[in-house]
Amino acid sequence: MLAILNMILMGDGSSNILNKDSLKEFEGYYGFGKTDKKFPANAFILNPPYSAPGNGMIFVEKALSMMKSGYAAIIIQNSAGSGKAIEYNKKILEHNTLLASIKMPIDLFIGKASVQTNIYVFRIGEPHEKDEIVKFIDFSNDGYTRTNRKKSSNNLKDTGNARGRYKEVIDLVRFGRKKLNLLTPEEYYEGTIDPKNGADWNQSAPVDTKPGLNDFKKTVADYLAWEVSNLLKQEKKEDEKVGK
């Protein structure tokens, strides 16, 4: 609040927070002091408005286009990665690499919104290659229990080693599968995306649908049980006919 008041009333100070339309009025320069020089941003974090074009990816594409290096992390409605922001996503991947796609809990914004969100992590300044490994993490169970009780003093409770799970997600993004511990193999998947697609950013571990020996045994057992049941019914009908 103090930073915003300083920005509006005092013309900022050293924080360079700008009171402008970031899509139309900002071209990447310092807002105060060194106004003829580009602001050398190397980190970008955003939760954009989902009502904006591309579910908000218009802000991400604009910002990353001004960065030369570093990393970016955004939390956004996951439909942005599965078809609602195709053109923005393809432009982003022309100059940046998608490192991870993290599916967050559905009740993350309980009380404010009920929407499925994902966190997308990028490395800036390197075009995404089709063979680049992307870490897909299902973090639906983040270890927290959330409530929306207006009179509650604590609507967020760590009921499943939440701190440990968040630390593990960070390690998985940085170092990969070898850091898998609290999360299950079904919640972590390493795969690739097509940088020319723009709608394949949300993936999950493939399910093995090939039947095994136990599946075969169960099928045979179910069939035999069905056959026996039919035989017993038939015998009962024949007995009833004889009785008449």
Q: How confident is the model at residue 165 (pLDDT cuts 50, 70, 90)?
A: very high
Query: Of the candidates 198, 107, 182, which has an alpha carbon nearest to the alpha carbon of residue 147?
Result: 107
Q: Tell me the helix, strand and coil percentages in the chain, rounded to 5.
A: 35, 20, 50
Bridge partners of 97, per DSSP, are: 123
Amino acid at 19: N
The C-alpha R_g of the chain, in whole angstroms, comes to 27
Write the pLDDT tens digit of every residue in 65-83.
999 999 999 999 999 999 9
Q: Which pLDDT band holds residue 221 (cuts at 50, 70, 90)?
A: confident
Of 68, 169, 199, residue with least CA distance to 126: 68
Mean pLDDT computed over 84-105: 97
Give pLDDT, residue 83.
95
- Give the separation between CA 129 and CA 111, rounded to whole angstroms: 40
Residue holding tokens 């995306």?
A: 193
- Short-list 196, 41, 192, CA closest to 125: 41
Q: What is the pLDDT of residues 19-42, one digit of tens each?
A: 789 999 988 888 877 889 998 999
* 8 Å CB contact between 104 and 110: no
Residues 48-70, mean pLDDT to the nearest whole number:
95
Residues 119 and 15: their CA atoms lie apart, in Å, by: 26
Average pLDDT, rounded, for the chain: 89
The whole-number pLDDT of residue 101 equals 98
Q: pLDDT band for position 84 (50/70/90)? A: very high
CB 75 within 8 A of CB 47: yes
Above 70 in pLDDT, residue 204? yes
Phi, psi of 190, deg, nearest 5: -110, 120
Average pLDDT over residues 202-211: 80
Q: Which of 20, 23, 49 is nearest to 35 (CA)?
A: 20
Q: Place 242 in a pLDDT band, splitting at 50, 70 and 90.
A: low
The residues, any chain, with a CB within 8 Å of residue 179's CB and separated by 6 or more, are 168, 171, 172
Between 198 and 19, where is the model more confident? Answer: 198
Residue 128's pLDDT is 98
Tell whether the torsion through CA atoms of 32, 37, 42 and 45 is positive or negative: positive
Q: At what angle do helices 86-93 and 57-64 cross, to 10 degrees?
A: 20
Q: What is the mean pLDDT of residues 172-201?
A: 96
